[in-house]
Chain A
Amino acid sequence: MDLTLPALQRSAQEMRIDIIKMLHAAGSGHPGGSLSLIDILTVLMTRYVKRTPENVEDPDRHRMVLSKGHGVPALYAVLAKLGVIPHDELMTLRRVDSRLQGHPHNASLFAAEASTGSLGQGLSIAQGMAMTAKLDSKPYKVYCVMGDGETQEGQVWEALLSAPMFKLDNLVVILDYNKGQIDGPTNDIVNLEPLADKLRAFNWDVQEIDGHDFEAIDAALEKAQGYGGRPHFIIAHTVKGKGVSFMEDPTEWHGKAPNDEQAAAAVKELEATLN
């Protein structure tokens, strides 16, 4: 697989098509937060987590915990692109006999790393994995991809307080800050701002980027490779539903699948970007 940034950007567009098709086939799911996430996840999984079919169960592998479990179609699309799961399997999303549960279930699909989907729990799990790496003096990194809405959970702030105490500079959080949650714009529900200031006050190393700019995503992750005694937090500003014009809305496309007509229109629009 070509891992240059232009090639990855094209791959991400292809995976957007996969996401639309699998959600359409499933008849339910979360397009908005999957489409906002896919650019981040593409760069992260290919160039930093470096997931391959061969290293899925390697105890020293880099790990990615998807705390915003409803964004899992994006993860499945990336795992298919990487050959970890067969591409055809994507169309089994949410079916009773599928490994591709509606939210990540590690016991069904090991590559999911942990079961998530109840919001606010992933960062604690990632923290524990980073603690193991420190305890065993292993070089692997642990990445946690979070949603903005879930930072409203108290458990997230427990982990934000706790991780710097353990000097987990092998822990990297990327926030898919797409500004929307089910009941409305995130900062109208519970305002997160000024978020970077809050995180710096909690002793995190903080960066703020455009989560659809491949060079910015890559540069931020590269910078987060540093060991400075502090855990890293990348605030990635994104657009919910990114890439499909009629889905680019903070709330409308949070949790509904496209119908036949909408799916066809979305795929057509995305395919046009590949030519």
Chain B
Amino acid sequence: MAKATRVSFGEELAAIGATHPDVVVFDADLSKSTQSWMFAEKYPQRFFEMGIQEHNMIGAAAGMALSGKKPFICSFSTFVVGRFEVIRMSIGYSEANVTVVGTHCGVAIGEDGYSQMALEDIALMRTLPNMAIIQPADDREARAAVRFLAEYDQPAFLRLTRQGLEEVHDDNYTFEFGKADELRGGKDAVIFATGGVLHNALQAAEELAAEGLDLRVVNIHTIAPLDVDYVVRAAKETGRVITVEDHSVVGGLGGAVAETLAEHQPTLMKRIGMHSYGRSGTPKDLYTHYELDKDGVKKQIAAFMKG
């Protein structure tokens, strides 16, 4: 059943409230959208409604972290990560144990258009040396990430989707922070995908198998720190690398993989993602328009493999 990772997050956050008394949650007037309302309802004393004050929310959360709490701060990713300079100083440089939760990531948020879409958030957060970046691809992974982050004691960024995601994992799934998660074997090329478009990449690889292409598909839920050893090994083993993400092709997963390979294993690469500002439309129409749906990803991979 398709479920948005923001919903998985909200449910799991409310669930861990009982076992993690140090967890506090902040929202900036979007708790119904970010799903932090579920925690607020169960633990009203530990929930802080900051109003439409993202800068102040980041700073106050840093202050709470520096005085012993474990804050999760929630908003649309572009509104919170967009206040980057405060994150950089008050969370990153202060080593404040805050998890920044950015929902409504990617062009797939749909009709509200570019102003609400986070398409550059990974790129910004990747520049901070101590910032972990996790982007789950389904319900199980999102829940596991929340449980992991509740125990993590460094700055972190959790990137979540508005739209429902098909399950890619079964009940046996275990989340390993910082580890690449190989979902499909293959030797002709390796596809690294993350978040909401992972399922599309998997389906595209399966259809391309019928056309004789043996494509490996790897889920990168932890973009920072990147599993460098795996990325280099997979590039060596396959000789061709594709990245797929609902984010700018600059600075996100594609950027991270490209930088890594340029240093360790120069490899022919194709970055699939956003090359422009987003626009309004249904999520489905937007994925078709920007070639991020299964057919669009498939078409781009096929062209790359022929080239």
Pairs A–B under 8 Å by Cβ, sample size 18: A59-B68, A113-B66, A114-B96, A115-B94, A117-B89, A121-B55, A124-B55, A124-B56, A125-B94, A128-B62, A131-B48, A132-B64, A132-B69, A135-B24, A135-B45, A155-B56, A159-B60, A161-B51
Give B84-124 interface residues, CB cut-off 8 Å to A: 85-86, 88-90, 93-96
Residue pairs across A and B with CB atoms within 8 Å: the count is: 106
User: In the complex, A117→B90 CA distance in Å?
Assistant: 10
Contact B66 A114 (CB under 8 A): yes
- Which listed residue, B58, B67, B88, touches A129 by the CB 8 Å rule? B67
Residue interface mask A131-162, B partner, CB < 8 A = 1:
11101100000100000000000110011011
Are A162 and B60 CB-contacts (below 8 A) given A106-B95, A133-B67?
A: yes
Using Cβ atoms and an 8 Å threshold, which residues of chain B touch A127?
A: 56, 59-60, 63
- Min CB distance, A104 to chain B, in Å? 9
Using Cβ atoms and an 8 Å threshold, which residues of chain B touch A121?
A: 55, 59, 86, 89-90
Residue of A nearest to B65 (CB): A128
Using Cβ atoms and an 8 Å threshold, which residues of chain A touch B53?
A: 158, 161-162
User: In the complex, A59→B94 CA distance in Å?
Assistant: 17
User: In the complex, A166→B85 CA distance in Å?
Assistant: 25
User: In the complex, A122→B89 CA distance in Å?
Assistant: 10
User: In the complex, A113→B89 CA distance in Å?
Assistant: 13
Using Cβ atoms and an 8 Å threshold, which residues of chain A touch B86?
A: 118, 121, 124, 155
- Min CB distance, B20 to chain A, in Å? 14
Q: Please tell me if B46 contacts chain A, counting CB pairs below 8 Å.
A: yes
Give B102-156 interface residues, CB cut-off 8 Å to A: none
Residue interface mask A168-201, B partner, CB < 8 A = 1:
0000000000000000000000000000000000
- Which listed residue, B46, B58, B59, B67, touches A63 by the CB 8 Å rule? B67
- Min CB distance, B87 to chain A, in Å? 10
- Min CB distance, A177 to chain B, in Å? 22
Q: Give the contact-size bracket for chain B.
A: 20 to 34
Given pairs A127-B56, A158-B53, 14 additional interface contacts (CB within 8 A): A59-B67, A113-B66, A114-B96, A124-B63, A125-B63, A125-B90, A128-B63, A128-B67, A129-B64, A132-B68, A158-B55, A161-B53, A162-B53, A162-B56
Secondary structure call for the B interface: helix
Contact B68 A128 (CB under 8 A): no
Most B-side CB within 10 Å, residue of A107, A115, A128? A128
Q: Please tell me if A244 contacts chain B, counting CB pairs below 8 Å.
A: no
Residue of B nearest to A154 (CB): B55
User: In the complex, A121→B55 CA distance in Å?
Assistant: 8
Secondary structure call for the A interface: helix
Q: Please tell me if A116 contacts chain B, counting CB pairs below 8 Å.
A: yes
- Which listed residue, A105, A122, A154, A162, touches B51 by the CB 8 Å rule? A162
- Min CB distance, B99 to chain A, in Å? 14
Using Cβ atoms and an 8 Å threshold, which residues of chain B touch A59?
A: 67-68
Give A90-106 interface residues, CB cut-off 8 Å to B: 105-106
User: In the complex, A106→B89 CA distance in Å?
Assistant: 11
Residue interface mask B273-294, A partner, CB < 8 A = 1:
0000000000000000000000
Contact B59 A155 (CB under 8 A): yes
Residue of B nearest to A112 (CB): B94
- Min CB distance, B54 to chain A, in Å? 9
- Min CB distance, A41 to chain B, in Å? 20
Contact B66 A106 (CB under 8 A): yes
User: In the complex, A132→B71 CA distance in Å?
Assistant: 11
User: In the complex, A63→B56 CA distance in Å?
Assistant: 19
- Min CB distance, A66 to chain B, in Å? 13
- Min CB distance, B96 to chain A, in Å? 8
Most B-side CB within 10 Å, residue of A65, A125, A129? A125
Are A125 and B85 CB-contacts (below 8 A) given A113-B66, A161-B53, A162-B50?
A: no
Contact B62 A118 (CB under 8 A): no
Using Cβ atoms and an 8 Å threshold, which residues of chain B touch A113?
A: 66
Q: Please tell me if A23 contacts chain B, counting CB pairs below 8 Å.
A: no
5 nearest A-B pairs in the assembled complex, by CB-CB distance: A128-B63, A124-B59, A128-B60, A158-B56, A132-B67
Q: Please tell me if B217 contacts chain A, counting CB pairs below 8 Å.
A: no
